[in-house]
Amino acid sequence: MPVVIEDKVDATAAPATVFAYLHDPAERGSWDAAAEGSTVEGDSPAAGVRLHLRGRRMAPSWVGEYTSFEPPTRSSLRLVEGEGMPFRSFTQTISVAPSRGGSTVTIRLEYEAAGVVRLIEPLTLRSRLRKVTRRSLGLIREHFA
Phi, psi of 42 (to 5 degrees): 100, -165
Let me know how long the chain is. Answer: 145
Nearest to 64 by CA among 46, 52, 48, 47: 52
As a whole number of angstroms, the distance between CA 13 and CA 101 comes to 7
As a whole number of angstroms, the distance between CA 143 and CA 138 comes to 9
| Domain assignments of the chain as residue spans, ordered by start | 3-143
pLDDT digit string, tens, across residues 56-75? 877 789 999 999 999 999 99
Residue 137 has pLDDT above 90, yes or no: yes
pLDDT digit string, tens, across residues 24-66? 999 999 999 999 999 999 889 999 999 999 998 777 899 999 9
Residues 3-143: name the CATH superfamily. START domain (3.30.530.20)
Residue 82: strand, helix, or coil: coil
pLDDT of residue 125: 86
Per the CB < 8 A criterion, the answer to whether 107 and 77 are in contact is no
Measured CA angle at 37 (ends 101, 140), to 5 deg: 15
